[in-house]
Amino acid sequence: MSYLSAYKDGRILLRLYVQPKSSRNAFAGIYGDSIKLAITAPPVDGKANKAVIQFLASFFKLKKKDIAIKYGLQSRKKSILIAGSDMQIIQAQIDAVSE
């Protein structure tokens, strides 16, 4: 998928389009070359960024330190680096909720 790519060191880059102040935290389908992620937190004082990391860590069953925002700290479009998992596992987990 175009929203996932792998680095040689095993980390995964996930492209997100974040919709803050939503009614629930959930993946909301494909948005261009990204996955749309609805987050309840407002985009104020980094609250939405913290909520994105918390949601992804919980969803992928990883530690928060394994997830980092590489690009897009002040944008709806974010590139997320994920360590400690496999691309096929990440893809399968996203596909399971996107169908």
List the chain domain ranges: 4-98
10: left (phi over 0), alpha (psi -120 to 50) or beta: left
Tens digit of each residue's pLDDT (9 = 90 or more) over 4-39: 999 999 899 999 999 999 999 999 988 999 999 999
Q: Is residue 43 within 8 Å of residue 23, measured between CB atoms?
A: no
pLDDT tier at 96, thresholds 50, 70, 90: confident
pLDDT for position 95: 87
pLDDT for position 1: 60
Whether 99 shows a pLDDT value over 90: the answer reads: no
DSSP for 40-53, written as a single string:
SS-SSTTHHHHHHH
Pick the CATH number of 4-98 from 3.20.20.60, 3.30.1200.10, 3.30.420.10, 3.40.50.880: 3.30.1200.10
- Amino acid residing at 9: D
Distance CA 7, CA 22 (A): 31
Q: What is the mean pLDDT of residues 76-96?
A: 92
